[in-house]
Amino acid sequence: MHAGVGYSDNPDTASAGASAAMNALRDAGRDDPCDIVLLFSTSRHDASTLRDAVASVVGPSVGIFGGGAVGAITNDRFGYAGDQIAMACLWLDDVRADILVEGGLLYGEMEVGRRLGQRLAGSGATPESPVILFYDAIDRTGGNMRLIMATYILAGIEETLGWLPNLNGAGLQGDYAATPTMQWVGDGIAQHQAIALLFSGDVRVDSVIMHGCRPATRYYTVTKTDEQVILEINERPALEFVDELLGGAISPEDYPFFLIFGVNKGDKWGNFDENSYANRLCLGIDRERGGIVMFEPDMVAGTDFQIMYRSLDLGYMQPRIDGIFADIGNRKPVLAVYINCAGRAAGYGGVDMEDAVMVQKTVAGRAPVLGIYTGVEIASVEGRPRGLDWTGVFCLFSVPERERKND
């Protein structure tokens, strides 16, 4: 397996697509046709024009998969909230990739998950199989914005399989305003799809979570919910409870994209372990009912949580990324995929240092980097894939050393 990445922020879509594709081929150092293209762009680009431009370079028969991203990252470029495009060309060589596309997310995430589970089973997936999931996270068909839920997709997959594979992924959106975007699904474009890439053979995907958050409070308990709306905490109205807890230092109108709840899936009374936390970001408030609206619906009644604070020091990232490279031993690193919450961008989150720069400096040319800024991230917490918020998920694809014949 081999990969090359390309980037462009040219506002002219046709020129941007062709340039990114040529950069990816040049980065790979191969002149034979690639097998798969992973393509991501902001909502400023027309999906059909962009696809045609990429296909004009890589060839019309190559399957192109991907969708919207708030921004993009490669080894030496990054940007967000503009005209960014990033892509990876993949040569499978001695490995196999089954790409499973299921539509209908508007009509039930659980059912889409069930169908994906059936197809994963049919493709021979096991609990150890590496799977990357990209799904359209935005529904504006009803006028207002509704988030499509990773929690339900994963529940559907697990209901069918009886377990979840080694799954990482992202909920895709094209900008901070959650403008509807299209997806690339092989030989065409579509919307509201889930795309699962199942790798077999000798491919391994190791991943690590980077929240950069630590607990700021003791545990509190959710006592009443309605889907993703937390209505009561410790049997009191949620807005009232949090406002009193914070001493009015932050207005409830400022909770969206700022207030973070951490759910510890490990030892509640042990030493802090970032890998054990599933963080939940506030999406909005429900003034009428005194509720707090979260990005995912899994903080049900009985869930214990802590309010988290964000670290302004990104130094924690380097040892975690270096650890992944150390863990693969003598294997060949093929591609680093960085799935990054759009809220972590310095220009949005109000911090001085870009975590994209830390990723670039730490990888330091050891593997091609394909990074995207996303709405929701998926990674394993305490051995179970979960939808996450305010998270960077660093995934490293590797193959055995013997495959270096294509370098």
- The residue-averaged pLDDT of 248-269 equals 93
End-to-end CA distance of the chain: 10
Q: Based on the domain organization, do 11 and 71 belong to the same domain?
A: yes
Rounded to 5 degrees, what are φ and ψ at 9?
A: -130, 25
Q: Cα–Cα distances in Å, from 223 out to 180, 227, 282, 287, 298?
A: 34, 13, 17, 18, 13
| Range from 149-153, 319-323, 350-354 carrying the lowest mean pLDDT | 350-354
E strands, 295-389, are 304-310, 332-341, 369-374, 376-381, 384-388
Other CB atoms within a 10 A radius of the CB of residue 11 amount to: 11
CB environment 68-106: b (16+ within 10 A), e (fewer)? bbbbbbbbebbbbbebbbbbbbbbeeebebbebbbbebe
- The residue-averaged pLDDT of 290-294 equals 97
Q: Any residues with CB less than 8 A from the CB of 369 and at least 6 apart, and which?
A: 5, 73, 74, 75, 335, 336, 337, 338, 359, 360, 363
Q: Based on the domain organization, do 372 and 402 belong to the same domain?
A: yes
CATH of the domain at 276: 2.40.30
Q: Based on the domain organization, do 125 and 239 belong to the same domain?
A: no
Q: Based on the domain organization, do 79 and 31 belong to the same domain?
A: yes
Q: Based on the domain organization, do 195 and 285 belong to the same domain?
A: no
Q: Which of the listed residues 295, 310, 325 is the one where a domain comes to its end?
A: 310
pLDDT band with cut points at 50, 70 and 90 for residue 311: confident
Which residue's entry shows tokens 């001695």? 94
Q: Which of the listed residues 290, 310, 330 is the one where a domain comes to its end?
A: 310
* Beta pairing partners, 260: 281
> What would the two tokens of residue 323 be?
């650890």
pLDDT score at 335: 98
Q: Based on the domain organization, do 273 and 330 belong to the same domain?
A: no
The answer to whether the beta carbons of residues 74 and 188 sit under 8 Å apart is: no
The answer to whether the beta carbons of residues 127 and 120 sit under 8 Å apart is: no
Q: Based on the domain organization, do 75 and 61 belong to the same domain?
A: yes
* Angstrom distance (rounded) from CA 79 to CA 5: 15
Quick one: angle between helices 317-327 and 355-363, nearest 10?
Answer: 40
The pLDDT tens digits for 89-137 are 999 998 999 999 999 999 999 999 999 999 999 999 999 999 999 999 9
Q: Based on the domain organization, do 333 and 291 belong to the same domain?
A: no
Number of compact structural domains in the chain: 2
In the predicted structure, residue 403 carries a pLDDT above the cut 70: no
CA atoms lying within 13 Å on the CB side of residue 185: 17
Q: Based on the domain organization, do 218 and 206 belong to the same domain?
A: no
Q: Cα–Cα distances in Å, from 296 out to 48, 105, 207, 277, 308?
A: 31, 15, 22, 15, 17
- What is this structure's pTM? 0.94
pLDDT band with cut points at 50, 70 and 90 for residue 354: very high
> What would the two tokens of residue 227 be?
């889907």
- The residue-averaged pLDDT of 295-301 equals 95
Q: Based on the domain organization, do 318 and 258 belong to the same domain?
A: no
* Angstrom distance (rounded) from CA 233 to CA 237: 6
Q: Based on the domain organization, do 254 and 158 belong to the same domain?
A: no
* Angstrom distance (rounded) from CA 143 to CA 106: 13
In the predicted structure, residue 404 carries a pLDDT above the cut 60: no
In the predicted structure, residue 248 carries a pLDDT above the cut 70: yes
pLDDT score at 350: 63
pLDDT score at 218: 97
pLDDT score at 349: 65
> What would the two tokens of residue 211 be?
């929240």
Cα angle 172, 122, 164 (rounded to 5 degrees) comes to 55
pLDDT score at 313: 79
The answer to whether the beta carbons of residues 133 and 119 sit under 8 Å apart is: no
Task: Print the domain residue range for 252.
Answer: 214-310
The pLDDT tens digits for 3-41 are 999 999 999 999 999 999 999 999 999 989 999 999 999
Q: Based on the domain organization, do 241 and 152 belong to the same domain?
A: no
**Nearest-CA neighbor of 204 among 331, 98, 94?**
331
- Identity at 390, one-letter amino acid code: W
The answer to whether the beta carbons of residues 279 and 306 sit under 8 Å apart is: no
CB environment 273-309: b (16+ within 10 A), e (fewer)? ebebbbbbbbbbbeeebbbbbbbbbbbeeebebbbbe
Cα angle 173, 17, 341 (rounded to 5 degrees) comes to 25
Q: Which of the listed residues 310, 342, 375 is the one where a domain comes to its end?
A: 310
pLDDT score at 143: 83
pLDDT score at 232: 98
* Angstrom distance (rounded) from CA 41 to CA 183: 10
- Identity at 285, one-letter amino acid code: I
